[in-house]
């Protein structure tokens, strides 16, 4: 059965022109790395001192993953194509799956891996599950893909799409339940329509439902909200590998990208704490999250869920393991009871909560308001990935014009970040904090419970 499906990435802007997929001038390579604002905000180097995702497999159920992309060479396992079209799991003409994989486990390329896209968990392995040919998903097929991934030992399963037919009792829901029974962390995007409704599979019990925040760490206006949001993560202006573009790169925005960052964080936790169950990994994700200075009166909040991910805190905080099933399994039985026990201090749960409107109504972090990551670059082309299937566009669906233009060359006098290898890691040292993106994590906001 063909389902109504919407990408959890709304738009992708091609990064073309100066940047080449294989051999590129240093300026161009640094230009790609320079645009990765999340490196500064999360402080990848600090996170990598605790974990790089080693020994963990993340299944990316998507359009396939191009393992020949320079930033993913050696990172992608064989995987499986469940579409029946005769292609390999590493055939990705759409580029969406490759983009998600690069956010999770990209390791860059070139000297000291200082060029291209670097992922948050660069030593995790990607298991590609090709479940779509551009936009043709099949409910039974992607469900079979999840089961295959579980049987191959996947520790984390990334679902950067929505499916209006994946309700309880569907093949997709049964496959996700199978994954949870076999101790896999399942992560899905909340969708990109800016409405008070979560889609499937994100709102299925036990699934980590992820919304997106922008460069100021405000909830992105088009991120769906409401009951069931678990966490938020960066999802605006995210540079990712993209074999569908002549440059090999694109700039994506949507809850797809945020989902990939949460999957990467789960991989980091599983690498450092291999004895934790999937539920206990989710517990650590939730209890290390933060609302920064956002005012909420009930936890989980309808927009932020349990808060913004903090990968380093997730790896280092003193957090009891908790029940094997984790907080989401408990919440599915009694949301009101567990909202008071799901790792939030009383002062946080009693704070006033803002109404949904625009990011301007959220209290901004000092020094972050108005931050714009690509001030010198004009994006000319928008590629929509919000196509609907099965009877018309899904919620917020439809197709925007697909562009073919090129990104302008880096401006004259463009200064690259000085990249260097991180000690004993073989990965580049992230750029220093720039005036555009002071690190809000460094402000050490109160954590959300122990």
250 in catalytic set: no
Rounded to whole angstroms, how far apart are CA atoms 431 and 252?
A: 21
Rounded to whole angstroms, how far apart are CA atoms 321 and 277?
A: 9
**Strands 185-189, 11-14: pairing kind:** unpaired
Token duo for residue 41:
């905000």
- 167 conformational bin, left if phi > 0, alpha if psi -120 to 50, beta if neither: beta
Can you tell me which residue has the tokens 């049987």?
151
Rounded to whole angstroms, how far apart are CA atoms 26 and 19?
A: 10
* Residue from 247, 256, 263, 331 carrying the catalytic annotation: 256
For the chain, how are helix, strand and coil distributed in percent, rounded to 5?
25, 15, 60
256 in catalytic set: yes
* Residue from 30, 40, 96, 313 carrying the catalytic annotation: 96
* Residue from 40, 62, 92, 257 carrying the catalytic annotation: 62
Q: What is the DSSP letter of 305?
A: B
Q: What is the DSSP letter of 355?
A: P
Q: Chain centroid to CA 267: how far?
A: 12
The full DSSP string for 132-176 is EETTEEBHHHHHHHHHHHHHTT-SEEEE-EEETT--TTSHHHHHH
11 in catalytic set: no
128: CB partners within 8 A, 6+ apart: 59, 60, 62, 64, 65, 67, 76, 77, 79, 80, 89, 90, 92, 97, 101
Catalytic site residues? Answer: 62, 96, 256
């Amino acid at each position: 059965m063909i389902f109504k499906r919407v990408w959890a990435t709304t738009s992708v802007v091609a990064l073309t022109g100066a940047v080449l997929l294989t051999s590129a001038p240093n300026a161009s390579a640094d230009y790609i790395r320079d645009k990765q604002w999340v490196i500064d905000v999360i402080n990848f180097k600090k996170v990598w001192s605790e974990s790089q995702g080693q020994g963990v497999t993340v299944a990316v159920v998507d359009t396939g993953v191009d393992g020949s992309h320079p930033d993913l060479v050696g990172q992608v396992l064989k995987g499986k194509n469940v579409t029946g079209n005769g292609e390999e799991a590493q055939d990705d003409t759409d580029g969406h799956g490759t983009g998600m994989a690069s956010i999770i486990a990209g390791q860059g390329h070139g000297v000291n891996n200082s060029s291209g896209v670097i992922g948050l968990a660069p030593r995790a392995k990607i298991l590609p599950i090709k479940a779509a040919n551009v936009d043709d998903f099949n409910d039974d097929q992607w469900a079979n893909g999840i089961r295959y991934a579980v049987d191959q030992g996947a520790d984390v399963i990334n679902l950067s799409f929505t499916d209006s037919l994946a309700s309880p009792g569907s093949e997709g829901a049964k496959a996700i339940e199978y994954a949870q029974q076999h101790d896999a962390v399942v992560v899905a995007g909340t969708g990109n329509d800016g409405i008070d409704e979560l889609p499937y599979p994100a709102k299925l019990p036990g699934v980590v439902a992820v919304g997106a925040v922008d460069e100021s760490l405000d909830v992105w206006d088009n991120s769906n909200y409401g009951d069931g949001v678990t966490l938020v993560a960066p999802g605006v202006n995210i540079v990712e590998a993209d074999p569908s573009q002549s440059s090999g790169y694109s700039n994506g925005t949507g809850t797809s990208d945020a989902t990939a960052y949460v999957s990467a964080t789960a991989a980091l936790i599983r690498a450092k704490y291999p004895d934790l169950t999937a539920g206990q990994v989710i517990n650590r994700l939730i209890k290390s999250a933060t609302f920064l200075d956002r005012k909420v009166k009930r936890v989980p909040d309808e927009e932020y869920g349990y808060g913004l991910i903090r990968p380093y805190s997730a790896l280092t905080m003193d957090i009891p393991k908790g029940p094997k099933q984790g907080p989401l399994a408990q919440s599915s039985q009694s949301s009101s009871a567990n909202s008071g026990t799901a790792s939030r201090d009383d002062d946080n749960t009693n704070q006033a909560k803002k109404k949904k409107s625009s990011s301007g109504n959220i209290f901004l972090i000092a020094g972050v308001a108005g931050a714009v990551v690509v001030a010198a670059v004009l994006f000319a082309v928008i590629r929509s990935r919000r196509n609907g299937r099965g009877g018309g566009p899904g919620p917020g669906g439809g197709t925007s014009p697909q562009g073919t233009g090129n990104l302008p060359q880096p401006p004259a006098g463009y200064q690259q970040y000085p990249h260097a290898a991180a000690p004993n890691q073989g990965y580049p040292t992230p750029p220093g904090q720039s005036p555009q993106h002071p690190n809000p994590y460094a402000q050490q906001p109160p954590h959300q419970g122990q």
